[in-house]
């Protein structure tokens, strides 16, 4: 039943009509738990609160299904506005973005121009930018763009997904760039021809690439709410005398907030992924797909209303 629900919400996440409807009606039906408002001003208040609790942040201006240059440029402009807000307010925050929102499906020239604009703006404030990984069809292209940008910028990283068969080779291939990588399990529905279908296999592969990247001496963000993965990482760094400034834990805004604060108290860097914007629907559906408990939370909220 859990897999059926996951597939259902992943299917809904790709529905363009529902995406447009969600933009029109705003943050309702429980999405406000996972999305920090529709404007940068609302997001700034959330970041300030998290920073005061000792939590670092990465902010993401949400956007999907961008299919024209004007909208892609506007999305890039909004990321730059977010960078200026972070710098102006002196916030402990990085920026994350999806390249589908700034033109990767439209043209190489467009996405590279927008990425360079964003990274130049971030460089002014010493802000790090992470290129999120999306579905498998865009994986190789994302890595190619990252490699090209890494030759020009120090303040850029990307994401690798443990459920893909190729990921171990990708970790090794990227090692030459000394990359700052966020390692995740993966949240898209993929073919068993390219991804592990069983959770236990994904978990084992996740542990393997965490160890691989850390022992390569590179900065590693372990983005997971899975307690077994968190404990594995703690034991691994202890066993190999890896300093705390070589890695961090990351979790999503609205999920396991108490555990996030506990990790801060334990002396670890804990970064919260904070999305904002009107184009929240696809992101929200993927959060519902990940955990049945999230669905129960939303249904409870709807009944209360």
DSSP reduced 3-state for 301 = helix
Q: Beta strands 56-61 and 270-276: pairing type?
A: parallel
| Residues annotated as part of the active site | 132, 182
DSSP reduced 3-state for 56 = strand
- Distance, CA of 89 to CA of 91 (rounded, Å): 5
Tokens representing 257 are 């907030």
Largest CA distance in the chain: 53
Residue 231 parent element (H or E) = helix 227-239
- Distance, CA of 111 to CA of 76 (rounded, Å): 9
DSSP reduced 3-state for 20 = helix
Q: Beta strands 93-97 and 56-61: pairing type?
A: parallel
């Amino acid at each position: 039943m859990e897999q059926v629900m996951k597939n259902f919400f992943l299917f809904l996440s790709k529905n363009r009509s529902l995406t447009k409807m969600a933009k029109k009606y705003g943050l309702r039906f429980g999405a406000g738990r996972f999305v920090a408002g529709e404007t940068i001003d609302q997001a700034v208040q959330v970041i300030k609160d998290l920073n005061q609790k000792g939590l670092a942040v990465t902010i993401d201006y949400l956007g999907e299904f961008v299919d024209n240059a004007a909208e892609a440029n506007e999305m890039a402009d909004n990321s730059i506005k977010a960078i200026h807000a972070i710098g102006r307010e002196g916030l402990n925050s990085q920026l994350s973005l999806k390249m589908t929102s700034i033109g990767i499906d439209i043209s190489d020239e467009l996405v590279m121009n927008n990425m360079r604009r964003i990274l130049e703006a971030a460089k002014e404030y010493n802000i790090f930018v992470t290129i999120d990984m999306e579905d498998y069809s865009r994986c190789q292209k994302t890595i190619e763009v990252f490699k090209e940008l890494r030759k020009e910028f120090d303040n850029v990283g990307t994401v690798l997904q443990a459920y893909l068969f190729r990921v171990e080779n990708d970790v090794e291939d990227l090692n030459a760039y000394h990359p700052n990588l966020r390692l995740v399990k993966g949240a898209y529905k993929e073919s068993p021809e390219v991804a592990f279908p069983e959770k236990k296999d994904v978990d084992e592969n996740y542990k393997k690439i965490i160890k691989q990247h850390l022992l390569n001496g590179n900065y590693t963000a372990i983005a997971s709410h899975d307690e077994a993965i968190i404990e594995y990482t703690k034991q691994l760094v202890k066993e190999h005398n890896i300093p705390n400034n070589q890695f961090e834990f990351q979790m999503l805004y609205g999920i396991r907030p108490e555990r996030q604060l506990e990790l801060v108290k334990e002396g670890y860097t804990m970064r919260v992924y904070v999305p904002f914007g009107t184009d929240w629907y696809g992101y929200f559906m993927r959060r519902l797909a990940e955990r049945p408990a999230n669905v129960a939370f939303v249904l409870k909220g709807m009944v209360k209303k």
